[in-house]
A and B are shown apart, each in its own frame.
Chain A
Amino acid sequence: MISFQRRSGSSLGWNVVCYSAAISGALLASAVLLRLSGGDPARAFTALIVGAFGSQGALLGSLAKATPLLLVGLGTVFAFRAKIWNIGQEGQVFAGAMAAYWVSFWIAPLPGWLAVCTLALAGMAGGGVLGLLAGALKTRFGTSEIISTVMLNYVVMYLLAYLLDGGPWMATGVTVSYHQSPPIDPSLEWPILLAVGAGKLHVGFLFALAASAFAAVLLDKTSLGYEIRAFGSNPTALTFRGTNVRRLLLTVMLMSGALAGLAGAGELFGVSHRLRAETLLGIGSSGIVVAMVGGLRPSGVMIAALFFGALESGTIYMRLKSGTPAGLVSAMEGLVLLFFLSAAVATRLQIVRREVHA
């Protein structure tokens, strides 16, 4: 008789089997989805891969798309490792871009690098404050952060909608309203590190790399990192140890929101150069997927961010070449996440063969 049993340790080989099966399963399910809607999976996936990795420019484009996902993903890791379910990344990305945009009115005379850092800090402050607000609602009123962060997403999005449509940040002088701000001061655009053809990589990529190193060290080597992990598994024990759990929760929400806010600022000053809802939409939720698929570990999140960044970057080419709707990528994100969730459970099991005595 064959049955499953909880595994005591973890086995690298079995992990590889489970996660490879998850990737294959998700790709297969996406292909079925494509086939069902009358598309040609082989053509679409080929176009997707060429669009993501086919040239140096495409590769840079993928890295650029991976940048905000990595930042949001790392922020999510802090929260989820502590089992604090911050799912307000979407709003925190918006808040970061909005705060940085607001600050940009005041800092024109600052020299290059100082301006970049100020805008990055402003973005982190914007996202961080929104995260902190949800954290405070939890510590003060016991409001579930799952709910409050989602509700705050809507609040922030409607605030931006107002500011860009009839509000003070609306672009003027255009006959048709595009619900966007006027372009930012060109001297404030973030420097481009590398550019090949249409592929451009801005300085935010370095911030994301630095944040990855910071997150890895913080989680594994510091007492705050220990407390974050302990908060997730046994908050009561942490209280007995003398940790101020309220302050810990607020710190985690602040850091989590700040990284999402930095992603928003980077997209605004490094890529779009205008404040628009459409360019920011979806970064938060994709970042959550990246964090989960990356196994809530900074190194895993880097790989996952690259994978999903490539997916998003390849989409444009895929739509041109094979006419596949761009929505496929969001569907694939959901599928990959579900398959990885199942695989994560499977890695903790082992197959045992038992003798059945008659």
Chain B
Amino acid sequence: MLELLQGPLLISLLAAMVRIATPLLFSAMGELVTQRAGIWNIAVEGTMLIGAIVAYMVASTTGSPWLALAIAILACAASSLIMSFVTIVLKAEQFVAGLALNLLASGVTLFWFQAYIGGREAPTFIGFDQVPIPYLSDIPILGPVLFSQRLLTYVSFLVPILVWFFLYRTKYGLEVRCVGENPKALDVKGLHVGLRQCLAIMFGSMMSGFGGAFLMLGYSDKFVPDLIAGRGWLVVVAIIAGNWMPFRIVGAIFIFAFLEALGIHAQVVGIPVPHQLFLVLPYVASLVLLAGLRSRTHQPVALGIPYNRE
């Protein structure tokens, strides 16, 4: 285990951590906005999967990863309308709607994938490449870890700051938080609660799709049905463990990413422990985190409660 903490291997470990964490940052920050608006949308896993499969089909057909990213995000915006309809218009149980959407997404992606490849070898594509930032990438340790990543990774560093700014420093952010805490107050002022929730769900889904598409386009060359493998659920865990505060959520995500990176490297170094033990670490850690960090002080009061006038 100790050899993991030496020079080049440590740098590789930390770089892997950043690589694994960043797609999740997009999804987590989107889901945070949705949840702050009082919508308990557990369909992150399914939405990421839709983002990934759409990105895969577009990228392997057209060869353009940027177009693939854009269409994947649009597809997820469209799929968010299902969630909005069921939870805001019909006011069905939000958890159940999310569960249904997850099941639908895993079914539809499997079907699309099988129909798309239709018995041939799954086509591959060329995704996003690394773009080292000049000068910054030459800094020892920090350079290779932070500044020799993909373009979208650098963007992802900014996302939590932007979302924090939106939520706590803008009028619209205040309204979103108000929808999650006290929707009646907003309604009394004549502001439309459902519209804001609908937009929050759409933003969350687009960001989840962004994360899924980035995972697909940045780190892989062909789709596999278990590509997301529970990462959408880890995002939901990170939000609870991070007590609905942007930067704590980032911390939780980096913990999961570090454990996953550790697993990959332990396999490379050849530590004589079954590799599944390392693969399971993030999920075990999430249980420990949730049991340990029990503070729910920033959980939106109206989270998961459909808003009814009257």
Q: Which residues of A contact B (CB under 8 A)?
A: 33, 37-39, 85, 87, 137, 140-144, 146-148, 150-152, 154-155, 158-159, 161-162, 165-167, 285, 288-289, 292, 325-335, 337-338, 341-342, 344-346
CB < 8 Å neighbour of A333 from B103, B116, B236, B294: B103
Q: Which residue of B lies closest to A282 (CB)?
A: B106
Whether A144 contacts B240 in the complex (CB less than 8 A), given A150-B230, A159-B276, comes out as yes
Task: Flag whether B280 is at the interface (Cβ < 8 A).
Answer: yes
Interface contact B287-A151, CB-CB below 8 Å: yes
CB < 8 Å neighbour of A342 from B92, B112, B274, B276: B92
Task: Flag whether B28 is at the interface (Cβ < 8 A).
Answer: no
> B143 to nearest A CB, angstroms?
34
Chain B 173-203 residues near chain A, CB threshold 8 A: none
In the complex, which residues of chain A have a beta carbon less than 8 angstroms from the beta carbon of B104?
331, 334-335, 337-338
Whether A344 contacts B287 in the complex (CB less than 8 A), given A39-B115, A87-B99, comes out as no
CA distance A345 to B306 in the complex (A): 13
CA distance A145 to B111 in the complex (A): 30
18 intermolecular pairs with C-beta atoms under 8 Å apart = A37-B111, A147-B286, A151-B286, A154-B280, A158-B279, A161-B276, A325-B110, A327-B107, A327-B113, A328-B111, A330-B103, A330-B108, A330-B110, A337-B103, A338-B82, A338-B86, A341-B90, A342-B92
Contact with A along B36-47 (1 / 0, CB 8 A): 000000100000
Q: Which residues of B contact A (CB under 8 A)?
A: 42, 82, 85-86, 90-92, 95-97, 99-101, 103-108, 110-116, 230, 233, 236-237, 240, 274, 276-277, 279-280, 283-284, 286-287, 290-291, 294
Interface contact B92-A344, CB-CB below 8 Å: yes
Whether A151 contacts B237 in the complex (CB less than 8 A), given A143-B287, A333-B103, comes out as yes
> A292 to nearest B CB, angstroms?
7
In the complex, which residues of chain A have a beta carbon less than 8 angstroms from the beta carbon of B91?
345
Interface of A is mostly: helix
CA distance A229 to B168 in the complex (A): 41
In the complex, which residues of chain A have a beta carbon less than 8 angstroms from the beta carbon of B105?
334
In the complex, which residues of chain A have a beta carbon less than 8 angstroms from the beta carbon of B92?
341-342, 344-345
Interface contact A143-B290, CB-CB below 8 Å: yes
Interface contact B115-A154, CB-CB below 8 Å: no
Interface contact A326-B290, CB-CB below 8 Å: no
In the complex, which residues of chain A have a beta carbon less than 8 angstroms from the beta carbon of B230?
150-151, 154
> B233 to nearest A CB, angstroms?
5
Q: Which residue of A lies closest to B277 (CB)?
A: A162
In the complex, which residues of chain A have a beta carbon less than 8 angstroms from the beta carbon of B42?
146
Interface contact B233-A330, CB-CB below 8 Å: no
In the complex, which residues of chain B have a beta carbon less than 8 angstroms from the beta carbon of A331?
104, 107-108, 110-111
Interface contact B280-A159, CB-CB below 8 Å: yes
In the complex, which residues of chain B have a beta carbon less than 8 angstroms from the beta carbon of A39?
115
CA distance A146 to B91 in the complex (A): 20
CA distance A285 to B101 in the complex (A): 12
CA distance A137 to B292 in the complex (A): 11
In the complex, which residues of chain B have a beta carbon less than 8 angstroms from the beta carbon of A158?
276-277, 279-280, 283
In this complex, which of A85, A151, A162, A335 has the most chain B Cβ atoms within 10 angstroms of its Cβ? A151
CA distance A326 to B110 in the complex (A): 9
CA distance A147 to B294 in the complex (A): 14
CB < 8 Å neighbour of A151 from B108, B111, B283: B283
CB < 8 Å neighbour of A167 from B90, B95, B101, B274: B274
Interface contact A37-B116, CB-CB below 8 Å: yes
Whether A155 contacts B283 in the complex (CB less than 8 A), given A146-B95, A162-B274, A334-B106, comes out as yes
CA distance A225 to B123 in the complex (A): 53
CB < 8 Å neighbour of B106 from A152, A288, A330: A330
> A10 to nearest B CB, angstroms?
17
